[in-house]
Structure 1
Amino acid sequence: MRFFSQWGRFMMAGAGALAQWEIENAKSIVSSRKKLLLIGLMIIPIILIGVAFADDIGPALPALLGGKKAYSPAFYSLGIFMVSIAIGVGAGLITGCIGAGGGFIIAPALMSAGIKGILAVGTDLFHIFAKAIMGSVIHRKLGNVSVSLAVVFLIGAILGATAGGVINRVLYEINPILSDAFITTVYSLMLGFLGFYALTDFLRSRKADKGGDAHGGAEGAEIGALCRNLQDVKCPPMIKFDQDLVAGGRQISWIFLVMSGALVGLAAGIMGVGGGFLTFPIFVYVLGVSSMTTVGTDIFQIVFTAGFASITQYAIYGFIFYTLAMGMLIGSLLGIQIGALVTKIVPGITIRGFYAMAVLAGFMNRIFALPSKLAEMDIISLSPGMGSILNTIGIWAFFIVIGGFSVWVVGTFLMNISKLKRKEA
């Protein structure tokens, strides 16, 4: 039980840090007319290519634009674009309102919409990379970035992202169903653990009538035994950091930074989501880096990790669906703004309950999709009809929960516009 609680807090802290990164990026983009105009200009070529070439040379384009090997269209269509915006809005509402992990539902949502797992991962990574570049929040955080810490960490992240991309592509070449089953299993384990912990945390907090922050205060100023033990290992070169927080600063061996980066990169390469949900808890709870330095360094690394993984491991192999990526970017910007406003008028305990529901909906979606994939590979015995029924149940449960949550958030926002205006005033 103690292990479950510790790892649950670990994952929740990471989900919260990733969500905060998304919120800051969205605010940076929306507040700039130039960036919004640039997004509009980025969409125009996708529309023109789709309209001009979808019928004539469309079959030849996916090799360049993504989607040929993944058997999914890379050209523009209104239906595809609207679905991607809806998925982005749902993820953005979760991120903005709950403040934790809306990006976790993107890959399951894309796979439920019929997109192959490897294409969903690549597209999600590219969407995160585009958002990071557009957000341009790095310059505001440079004072909190330990450059030496980030550079050594990125060595491991690049190695891990390469390994994750290779694993996904090799499995896809062996059997596309095997690839989907693998990605589905990874998401089922991660979402299942996080969702059940979030649910128990919500019930415990509700019983105690507490509605505070789920992630605690500012970690990192005081470090635990594990952090001290790792920092005591002298295997040069030693990387120094937190000189402004602790007299003389702290230091840690490059080996632990490279290993941590490799784990984050591997998660990014296999799952998408940039790996950012692991960086914060690893830095704070394992390496003993202050929260202030961690936030800046996480922003720094996620740009390069997501960019490297999306371009070198997915884009050049045709596993990015650009139309979807742009639609999700637009949708998430809108959803995050609305969700962030709703938090001003909704009790914190209610938000935590919705977070548990959203994550568990993603878990149900993937766990119910898994039996049919295993049956197609003859790993388990299951009739196609039963597999289809289970998959349908998972899809409907997922979209009903996420859709219901989205309607509730938007409805709450619309009914309280006057109250929000008074608060702003």
Structure 2
Amino acid sequence: MQIYLPIAEVSINAFLLFGIGGLVGILSGMFGVGGGFLITPLLFFVGIPPAVAVATSTNQIVASSVSALFAHLKRRTVDFRMGSVLLIGGLIGSALGILLFNYLRGLGQVDLLVKLCYVVFLGIIGALMFVESLNAIRKTRSGKRPPRKKHHWSHGLPVKVRFRVSGLYISVIPPILVGVLVGVLSAVMGVGGGFIMVPAMIYLLGMPTKVVIGTSLFQIIFVTGFTTMLHATTNYTVDIVLAMLLLIGGVIGAQVGTRIGVKMKAEQLRILLALLVLLVCGKLALELLLQPRELYSLGPVGAS
């Protein structure tokens, strides 16, 4: 069933969009990520303009994250204090990211920027997560206990706060910086930032994996919601019809993903997420390197 998207100005199969939303919702529930790192490239692949894909995908991220968060609230695996600190940085980063997005959109370079950001960030994060997950699985099979957390430079920073749910007593500066980075990525790339936040919370902040997923979802909800409003009011690139189809699929998928995630080990979840990140990265990199079918396009006279 074909449906016309007024802002994107293309006709797309409605069931295809519903399926994309459902798939990303499952990932949100399993891994604690908003799923934007996957849904935005998938929208590129089916013909949605990058500017519209970035702005609209954040709607779906909000819905799937809210749906998945309820399941984690029941298990009490959400650190609201840590989530609030991350949120402060995230809101600041979102505002900065929108300014950068608008500037590059004015120059006509936003499409290239978005795709390059995906290739660079997904490649680095996916590779690091894959190597670490393999090492963790090997240590588990050999019967070795995981090493105790070591203190590093971030633990010596000022303004320390006790995060009881996470069992941490650290400075708020690293979480705020992580939040700022995720906020910028949310605005520029149309992602919740979970693919960076989850590894950062585990390896940089030292949070336990069972708390990381719920806390990540809590922060993602507000940052992506804020980013959506900024895109809608400044760029007018949020397609409501596209957003609704993705929302329905995302909410249903998130509940399924949460149930799957509970039955899997943390190391298995991380290596699956790493493989998925690398797969999307490879697909985008290939598209940037290969010669397009149409070397140029025609537009109305005077169009930028």
Same fold (TM over 0.5): yes
Match for 2:292: what amino acid? Answer: G
Aligned pair partner of 2:45 in 97, 101, 112: 112
2:162 maps to which of 203, 216, 240 = 240
Say if 1:350 and 1:287 are closer, same or farther in 2 by CA, change over 3 A. closer
2:9 paired residue number: 73
Matches within 5 A, 1:357-372: 358-371=276-289
* 1:224–1:288 Cα contact (<8 Å) kept: no
Task: After TM superposition, list the pairs within 5 Å mapping 1:400-419 onto structure 2.
Answer: none
- The 3-state SS of whatever aligns with 1:274 is coil
Q: 2:292 aligns with which of 387, 397, 400?
A: 387
Distance 1:197 1:259, change over 3 A: closer
Identity %: 26
Q: Distance in 1 between matches of 2:131 and 2:194?
A: 24
Whether the 8 Å CA contact 2:54–2:189 is kept in 1: the answer is yes
Distance in 2 (CA, whole Å) between partners of 1:223 and 1:86 is 41
* Shift in CA distance, 82/306, structure 1 to aligned 2, threshold 3 Å: same
Indicate the residue corresponding to 2:151 in structure 1: 225
Matched, 1:250 2:169: yes
Stretches of structure 1 lacking an aligned partner (at least 5 in a row): 1-50, 373-385, 391-425
Name the structure 2 match of 1:36. Answer: none
Alignment of 1:98-247 (within 5 A): 103-134=36-67, 137=70, 140=74, 144-147=78-81, 149-175=82-108, 178-196=109-127, 222-226=148-152, 229-234=153-158, 236=159, 238-242=160-164
CA distance in structure 2 between the partners assigned to 1:108 and 1:245 by the alignment: 33
Residue deviations 1:243-290, cap 9 Å, x none?
A: x676xx6241x4333222211211222222312233333233223445
Query: Is residue 195–residue 359 contact of structure 1 (8 Å, CA) maintained in 2?
Result: yes
Query: What is the one-letter code of the residue matched to 1:73?
Result: E
Q: Alpha carbons of 1:286 and 1:366: their partners in 2 closer, same or farther (altered >3 Å)?
A: same
Does 307-316 or 194-203 show the bigger shift?
Answer: 194-203
Aligned to 1:282: 200
Q: Show the counterpart of 2:248.
A: 330
Aligned to 2:292, the other structure's residue is in SS state helix
Deviations 1:42-98 (A, max 9, x none): xxxxxxxxx9xx8xxx9xxx6xxxx3xxxx239xx6x44233113224435666789
Aligned-residue offset at 1:108: 1.0
Q: How many residue pairs were aligned?
A: 292
TM-score by length of 2: 0.72
Q: Report the AA paired with residue 223 of structure 1.
A: K
TM normalised by structure 1 equals 0.54
Deviation at 1:160, TM superposition (A): 0.6
Query: Is residue 224–residue 285 contact of structure 1 (8 Å, CA) maintained in 2?
Result: no
Cα pair 2:186 2:193 within 8 Å, conserved:
yes
**Secondary structure, aligned partner of 1:387:** coil
Secondary structure, counterpart of 2:281 in structure 1: helix
**Residue 265 (structure 2) pairs with residue 265 (structure 1):** no
**Cα shift at 1:99:** 8.7
Which structure has the higher relative contact order (CA within 8 Å, separation 6+)?
A: 2
Q: Secondary structure of 1:240's partner?
A: strand
Give yes or no for the alignment of 1:312 onto 2:236.
no
- Greater C-alpha Rg: 1
**What is the rounded CA distance, in whole Å, between the counterparts of 1:103 and 1:82 in structure 2?**
19
Q: Which has the higher helix share?
A: 1
Residue 121 of structure 1: CA displacement? Answer: 1.4
| Preserved CA contact (<8 Å) 2:91 2:180 | yes
Read off the aligned partner of 1:121 and give its amino acid letter. V
